[in-house]
Structure 1
Amino acid sequence: MPATLAGFAEDIERRRQDWHVPGCAVAVIEDGEVIFSRGFGSCREGEATPITPKTLFPIASATKPFTAHSLAILVEKGILDWDTPLQQYWPEFRLFDPVASNRLTVRDLLCHRSGLSRHDLLWYQSPLSRLELMERLRYLEPSKDFRSAYQYQNLMYAAAGYLVERLSGLPWETFVREKILQPLGMNNSCFSLREAGEKGMLAHPYMRNGERVTEVPFLNNEAIGPAGSMIATLEDMCIWLRFQLQPDNSLTNAGESIMSAYMQEELRVPQIAVGPYPATYPEVMLSSAALGWFVQAYRGERMVYHAGNLQGFSSLISFLPDKKCGVVVLSQVDNSRLPMIVTYEAYDRVLGLLPVDWHGRLRSEDEKEANERQARYRELQEMKTSLGLHETSILPAKTSNQGCVGLYRHAGYGQISVTEVEGIMHANYNSLSFLLEPIGENRYLATYDETYILCMPMTFQTDSSGEVVSLSAPFEPVTGAKEIMFSRI
């Protein structure tokens, strides 16, 4: 091990424990070779199975570069053009905005500039197929003008994967396996929990709740697979990064290229600015979305990366192409800052730079967010207090509340049901059950806290006779997005 990484394993272990992460796997590549590869912690709290470089982790949105790579293969074959409107390849494709429907290109899909914000509740634990999700896109209102702003979008990547299927005649999963994974020798990567279970060790998912972590169920997200369903080992992700760092792309099993160096570089060209300007930290500057990747300057070096966050897991895959080094961090606990801390600390070591206190900085960010959550919680408690409710009480449904019980529908989001059992109100969407507590006239606080913590106001609208005719809620919470209106059936 190089002297620059002396003590690195001990630092990772301390960070893992500080951030309450049951297990993680970390690798560092320098000059195209793996110089560090280790697992830390266990696959499941309380059990002895250790995390190793062969442990499988859902990599979540770090799947997206594989989808972009798939489309790049089709571009090189002359089957696809980055800037031809999508409808020329997929005439049935529709968005809410007719201009976006007619003009949206593959480049727009891959750099998140469709005008559509996330709408993740549409697909989260949804029974819909990939094609059915695509058919719902036309009912989702944009929150920005087409191409005017960056807005991260998973459904657009599901559309990108579906386009791969239309043009190649192969399911997206088969295309990625046959055209990318198998040629590179990434034989332990897969696309479903069933496959992962058959392959062997699989890390378990956890969510953080204060200073504790709680195990949560695995999430089946195959319907939006091209946006984030891949499951991989640290060893396989090292193969993927070594391929990214090879200008002649000669790492295939057959000794032949699966993509030209020119096209590989095309995927890394910045397309639209991302994040705050000026930057939060001077070491991290000029963040942009590219095609399947993000690009930023880290302490003066070009850094190409993609993070992944999924129910129970966090990952960060990154490389400095001009220095031929890269870092992989796969970990349990979603929305954890551990992957970012370990990644930046690894680059500081490899580049021989004075260390930055990333742990301290991101701990401060974490505490600030916790304080903001507490402030919102106190505000909601004050609303309940103004109605004469105690902090831990659930108000029994009154006669007026009974009028809210029923089925409601939105053309894009589908159906939501409101029920009342023994005086307790719930709103049920897909497999999520939100507890409803009154916070005003015809207004409830909808709370879900089983796999994520979701808290939002839900408002019921009435007609001139006082009958409830619809409900609305900020299912898409981004600034500028309208509340989703469900009409009573």
Structure 2
Amino acid sequence: MQGKPSWALALGAALAWLPLAAQATPATDDEVERLVDQAFARYALPGMAVGVIQDGQVVHIATRGKLAIDGDRAVDADSLFKIASNTKAMTGAVLARLVQAGKLAWDDPVIKHLPQFAMHDAWVTGHMQVRDLLIHNSGLGLGAGDLMLWPEPNDFDRADIIAGLAHLKPVSSFRAGYAYDNLLYVVAGEVAAAAAGKPFNQLLREEIFVPLGMTRCQAGDWSPATVGNVAQPHYRSGGTHVVGRRDGDWEADFPSMAAGGVRCSLNDMLRWSQVLLDPSVVPGWLDATQRRALWTAHMPMPISQRLRDWDNSHFYAYGYGWRLSDMDGQWKVAHTGTLSGMYSSLALLPDSRNGVVILINGAGEAARTTLMQALLKRWTQPGAGLDVAHYADQLDAEAGQARAAGRSRPDTAAAKAVSGRYLPAAQGLYRDPWFGQVRLCPQQGQLQWQSEKSPRMQAQVKQLDGRLLLDWQQLGEDADAWLQLQPDAVGVWQMQLSAIDPDIDFSYDYPDLAFTRIADCP
């Protein structure tokens, strides 16, 4: 299939702009504070920053908690957070600026700018366009290859990521449907860099941060010690939040930058939102054609039952770095971000120039979901009294139903460490075509699993009810994996991983790993 499918053109034309719905005056600042307090307390968050925009103006800012739960510095509106996949909208905007400047076109073949780019299928390689990199239609599985991006930091670079794509087998036809990916956003950043002749972090500064006045945002190499006021990530352990990997004095450029590597403050993200809602804030920054391109429905997405029940949604689609939907008859443009102990959420109601930004430095998926929903409902369903508690109770009910249906993480507390003498024939060095080499070798009398290029992926091998599992030493228990070892037809040992938790973050891309034993333990 060449070019943009006809259904995408029709859907984009029909849904790019929805009619203005009747608006109501939002609740008072006291109610915003109450909703923020509800989320902060219910989920025992380490820190958060929330901003509300009405009619294009910032009308309320609320901050809670600390940069690090074991420290003294309070979160404020200038504190830096990882915005994670909210970076994707910035990557789309950089490309839009380059299209506007005539340095590339949305329908340029990717190989025009990156001749080394290759997918598993040669036809897809030749026909993938710049626009395809942004809309999750590649045919790859959900989160394919994400283990080259995180857990961070690791030793994969962008050349490794581009080379690894050729080894990732598609699970559907190119442009046939939606499956969220991150690797192709890394490719998109490299396309932008090649077209402009500048590193992507420089493009972010020149095309977005500087002209829009986002003075605290950081990308590429930077010094947290010099910049200061940086929120630290947190994970849940034993029912409470603990600080995860702390920033050092210097943070190196991460390969995932274009997919999710930017850090910004609440003030920065509110400024970003204002510019998107109102072109007159920074005249000429992005013309009407490119603004429309960013928020056009390029790829239909499945509508979940929750989206139907909560928002009365009738369409759901992906733009260039944005999710587009209808919420109680109003047009909604939004995205979320999740990365290494931080959560972000940004949602806009463009027709009324209203919006909300939420930044959290802990395990905050449910908190951002419930708080964003409650804050937006003040405009889309005023007077309904749908607060954080209402939505939190619904999420708890969903979780209970999942447990009753057997869709919950099994209890692995009784798992026992495996001796270093276990199954000696299977021990050794293994290699996967895109992830690289791992060790399955004895260490201090016990069998250990360790990645060569992703050092935080180090696990103790344990056994539970006759099954082997990997108990990660530096990752949350939600990431734990079953380990399968089996010789092939000629006696060469093969290794595969699968998730223990059925609701695991899809970026733990275990299904695409296929390890073959290549050598003995050193």
> What TM-score do the two structures reach when normalised by structure 2?
0.83
2: distance between equivalents of 1:7 and 1:282? Answer: 20
Distance 1:380 1:30, change over 3 A: closer
The alpha-carbon deviation at position 115 of structure 1 amounts to: 1.1
2: distance between equivalents of 1:226 and 1:142? Answer: 22
Match of 1:342 among 371, 390, 402: 371
Pairing 1:294-373 to 2, within 5 Å after superposition: 294-351=323-380, 352-366=382-396, 368-369=398-399
The alpha-carbon deviation at position 97 of structure 1 amounts to: 2.0
User: Is 1:231 equivalent to 2:263 in the alignment?
Assistant: yes
2: distance between equivalents of 1:182 and 1:73? Answer: 14
Partner deviation per Cα, 1:444-470 (whole Å, 9 max, x = no partner): 2123253333122222222567x5532
Structure 1, unaligned runs of 5 or more: 382-389
Structure 2, unaligned runs of 5 or more: 1-24, 500-504
Structure 2 counterpart of 1:242: 274
1: distance between equivalents of 2:119 and 2:468? Answer: 31
1: distance between equivalents of 2:464 and 2:215? Answer: 53
2: distance between equivalents of 1:365 and 1:240? Answer: 30
Structure 2 counterpart of 1:181: 209
2: distance between equivalents of 1:112 and 1:345? Answer: 29
Structure 1 counterpart of 2:8: none
2: distance between equivalents of 1:159 and 1:199? Answer: 29
2: distance between equivalents of 1:188 and 1:51? Answer: 14
User: Is 1:274 equivalent to 2:301 in the alignment?
Assistant: yes
Q: Specify the SS of the correspondent of 1:37.
A: strand
1: distance between equivalents of 2:507 and 2:233? Answer: 26
1: distance between equivalents of 2:430 and 2:277? Answer: 51
Partner deviation per Cα, 1:408-462 (whole Å, 9 max, x = no partner): 1122111111111344212112211122223587x62123253333122222222
User: Is 1:23 equivalent to 2:47 in the alignment?
Assistant: yes
Structure with greater contact order relative to length (CA < 8 Å, sep ≥ 6): 2
Q: Specify the SS of the correspondent of 1:24.
A: strand
State the one-letter code of the partner of 1:92.
Q
The alpha-carbon deviation at position 333 of structure 1 amounts to: 1.4
1: distance between equivalents of 2:508 and 2:193? Answer: 34
The alpha-carbon deviation at position 229 of structure 1 amounts to: 0.9
State the one-letter code of the partner of 2:177.
A
Structure 1 stretch displaced more, 165-174 or 82-91: 82-91
Distance 1:182 1:456, change over 3 A: same
2: distance between equivalents of 1:483 and 1:150? Answer: 18
Partner deviation per Cα, 1:338-393 (whole Å, 9 max, x = no partner): 12222222222245342324533344435644785795778575xxxxxxxx9253
User: Is 1:404 equivalent to 2:436 in the alignment?
Assistant: no
1: distance between equivalents of 2:366 and 2:328? Answer: 19
2: distance between equivalents of 1:362 and 1:169? Answer: 48
User: Is 1:123 equivalent to 2:146 in the alignment?
Assistant: no
The alpha-carbon deviation at position 394 of structure 1 amounts to: 2.2
Match of 1:260 among 268, 272, 287: 287
Q: CA RMSD in A?
A: 2.8
User: Is 1:104 equivalent to 2:128 in the alignment?
Assistant: yes
Is contact 2:458–2:474 with CA below 8 Å preserved after alignment?
no
1: distance between equivalents of 2:55 and 2:509? Answer: 45
The alpha-carbon deviation at position 488 of structure 1 amounts to: 1.6
State the one-letter code of the partner of 1:153.
D
Structure 1 counterpart of 2:9: none
The alpha-carbon deviation at position 145 of structure 1 amounts to: 1.7
Match of 2:462 among 429, 432, 437: 437
Residues paired across the two proteins, number:
473
The alpha-carbon deviation at position 483 of structure 1 amounts to: 4.7
